Chain A
Amino acid sequence: AQTVTQSQPEMSVQEAETVTLSCTYDTSESDYYLFWYKQPPSRQMILVIRQEAYKQQNATENRFSVNFQKAAKSFSLKISDSQLGDAAMYFCAWGSARQLTFGSGTQLTVLP
């Protein structure tokens, strides 16, 4: 079975600064995907970034980037130039065709 671990229940960052959220996972499969989702107080789960496990190049989406270390089974999210609107619960997820396995989440606070 797959497991996803987020060891930081809460993080805070000053507006315009950079923050990194950690995630580790465990799987015996070779073909999979990794995701970061954001869940603001509105509860809508929003896709932030996606990484294919077979790709060595780290994914980037504007201010969001990942550091994917396949051998270490590590998948961290870096948010640059943090904005007040980035405040939310962030979930790391492991994915196959059929299901996503989520971590327990990291609550990110952005300080003005």
Chain B
Amino acid sequence: ETGVTQSPTHLIKTRGQQVTLRCSSQSGHNTVSWYQQALGQGPQFIFQYYREEENGRGNFPPRFSGLQFPNYSSELNVNALELDDSALYLCASSLWGLSTDTQYFGPGTRLTVL
């Protein structure tokens, strides 16, 4: 069984730039959720994708957007980067309809905005 993978591991950007983070879900899973974890805090829910559509969203502005592909992998895009966007971005996958509540996490992407 293949676990959740994320790329890249680390990323450095400057304020105002755009970034794309990638996630491959665990085999057999069809739902992907994204979380932002600032240093010293718990993860905050950004949004979830199911059947290639946004299926729920947390309190994040529209410059945070995403995609899900037919193979259930997903991208997180952040436009007009701000210094406060510096964080660990976690992707989690689950199986909608059977055990949707249980989410399995990838290793994360560390984003630094200068």
Which residue numbers of A lie inside 8 Å of B, CB to CB? 4, 32-33, 35, 37, 42-47, 50, 91, 93, 95-105
Known A43-B88, A45-B90; judge A100-B45 contact (CB<8 A).
yes
Q: Roughly how many angstroms separate A33 CA and B102 CA in the complex, as a whole number?
A: 9
Judge whether A104 and B33 touch: CB under 8 Å. no
Size of chain B's interface in residues, with CB distance under 8 A?
25
Judge whether B104 and A47 touch: CB under 8 Å. yes
Known A91-B42, A100-B43, A101-B45; judge A44-B55 contact (CB<8 A).
no
Contacts of A93 in B (CB 8 A): 42
Contacts of A104 in B (CB 8 A): 41-42
Q: List 26 A-B contacts (CB under 8 A).
A: A33-B101, A43-B108, A44-B107, A44-B108, A45-B92, A45-B105, A46-B105, A47-B102, A50-B102, A93-B42, A96-B101, A97-B100, A98-B33, A98-B100, A99-B45, A99-B48, A99-B56, A99-B58, A100-B35, A100-B43, A100-B92, A100-B103, A101-B45, A102-B42, A103-B42, A105-B41
Q: Roughly how many angstroms separate A91 CA and B106 CA in the complex, as a whole number?
A: 16
Judge whether B48 and A102 touch: CB under 8 Å. no
Judge whether B101 and A95 touch: CB under 8 Å. yes
The 10 closest A-B pairs by CB, nearest first: A102-B42, A98-B56, A45-B105, A99-B45, A33-B101, A97-B100, A95-B101, A44-B107, A43-B108, A102-B43
Contacts of A44 in B (CB 8 A): 105-108
Most buried by B among A50, A93, A100, A103: A100
Residue of A nearest to B107 (CB): A44
Judge whether B103 and A105 touch: CB under 8 Å. no
Judge whether A97 and B96 touch: CB under 8 Å. yes
Q: Roughly how many angstroms separate A32 CA and B102 CA in the complex, as a whole number?
A: 11
Contacts of B103 in A (CB 8 A): 95, 100
Contacts of A97 in B (CB 8 A): 96, 100-101
Residue of A nearest to B42 (CB): A102
Residue of A nearest to B105 (CB): A45
Judge whether B42 and A105 touch: CB under 8 Å. yes
Q: Min CB distance, B109 to chain A, in Å?
A: 10
